[in-house]
Every structure is written in C-alpha cells, then in structure tokens.
Amino acid sequence: MNEESPTVRGFSKKTLILIVIAIAGVTAVLAYWFLSMPPRYPWLFKGAYADYQGETTLLFVPVKVKVHMEILDLNSTHVQLLIHYKIESIFTNESSKIEWVKIEDAEKEQTHISNENDHSLTRIYEEQLYLESVGLRECTVYEYTNNETIRYYIDKKTGWLISMRMTSSASTFFNSTVTFNINIDITNTNIPDLKK
C-alpha cells in the first residue's frame, strides 16, 4: 500500500500553516504601523479649514484683516483650496480664490495669498514661532519682497500656514515715510495637529 505524504508541492502542511501565520503577523504589524503613523498632511480631508486675523493702524486708520482657508474637495493627487480674505477699514474689500493644486504643492500654494503681483521669493529659512492659538511651532518661512516684505510661516509638522507677517513702507505728503506692520495669525482651525 502506497501512502501519500502530507505535503503540497514540497511543503508539509505544518510548514504551510507556519508561513500563513507569519504572513498574517507581518500584515498585522504593518497595518498597525501604517495606521498609527501621523499622516504627512493631517489637513487632507474635505472641510479642513483655518481662520486668521490681524489688525494694524495705517495713518491713524484702523485696519482689520480676516482670512479663511478651506479644503473644498480632493482626489488622489489634488486638493481644491478656497482662500477668502476680507479687509475691514474705512472701506471693506472682500475677495475669494478657488483653485485645484497638487497635494505636494499645497504648502507652497498657501504662500500665494497675496503674491500674485511682482513679489519675488528672496529666502526660505527655518524659524520657531509662538502663537497663542497653536503654541510653539517649528516653521519653514517663505520670504517674498517687492516694495514690502511678506513672510509666510508654514508649520513643519503639518505643512499648513500658521502666520503671515507683512512690513511695508509708503511715502506720504511732505516727503515722509510711513512704515506699517501687520501679523495675520491663525485663530481657529479643525486640523487636529494644529490644535493646542
């Protein structure tokens, strides 16, 4: 009588069971690692938003700036980004911009809020910034210049804009120069990694 050995193509059933258990274990470890990793872009969801506000005085006139940025839609490669700003002073000026941008370019796109007119990128550097709403943050700073200097502080952990700093000088009557500064800082967000 000829007995068949308990093998499948050269492997014993016991070896096959061990291989299946090993694959299942590796899969479980990789799944846990992947799910517990902080995402590179924690703002990558529909409805992710941040609100900003800043105030200054220009020639004795108070000026208040409000900005709202929001992810309206997304797919595997792009996000639809809304940037809405409102400047309140003697007159009120409001404007919105909606555009699709590549996910990996979204960080840089956030620095184009007011850089559509002749501003040149002059420096990129690292700096720590403390804001009451988000605490102490490591930032990449994009600095643009023209007749003014604008600095955009992008949080390194999230890749999201947390502050815009502008310094500008303007000539007035009697050949005097007026300099004004405004900091437009994040005040509210639903992005988990930006909450204090």
Question: HEC states along 76-144?
Answer: CCEEEEEEEEEEECCCEEEEEEEEEEEHHHHHHHHHHCCCCCCCEEEEEEEEEEEECCCEEEEEEEEEE
Question: Strand 135-145's sheet: what is its strand order?
Answer: 92-102, 78-88, 61-74, 49-58, 177-189, 161-171, 148-155, 135-145, 120-131
Residue 147 CB burial class (10 angstroms; 0-12, 13-18, ≥19): exposed
Structure confidence at residue 166 (pLDDT): 87
In degrees, rounded to 5, the angle at the alpha carbon of residue 194 between the alpha carbons of residues 191 and 196 is 125
Burial 64-89 (b: 16+ CB within 10 A, else e): ebbbebbbeebeeebbebebebeeee
Structure confidence at residue 71 (pLDDT): 92
Under the banding of pLDDT at 50, 70 and 90, the label for residue 30 is very low
Is residue 78 over pLDDT 60?
Answer: yes
Is residue 31 over pLDDT 50?
Answer: no
Under the banding of pLDDT at 50, 70 and 90, the label for residue 11 is low
- What are the backbone angles phi and psi of residue 176, rounded to the nearest 5°? -95, 160
Measured in residues, the chain has a length of: 196
- The residue that leads in pLDDT, 196 or 69, is 69
Question: What residues does each domain of the chain span?
Answer: 7-36, 49-194
Lowest mean pLDDT among 3-17, 71-85, 143-157: 3-17
Structure confidence at residue 163 (pLDDT): 92
- The residue that leads in pLDDT, 112 or 97, is 97
Structure confidence at residue 17 (pLDDT): 63
Structure confidence at residue 136 (pLDDT): 93
Q: How far apart are CA 35 and CA 59, in angstroms?
A: 53
- The residue that leads in pLDDT, 97 or 119, is 97
Provide the residue type at 181 as one letter. N
- Express each pLDDT in 37-52 by its tens digit: 345 678 889 999 999 9
pTM: 0.73
Output the average pLDDT for the chain.
77
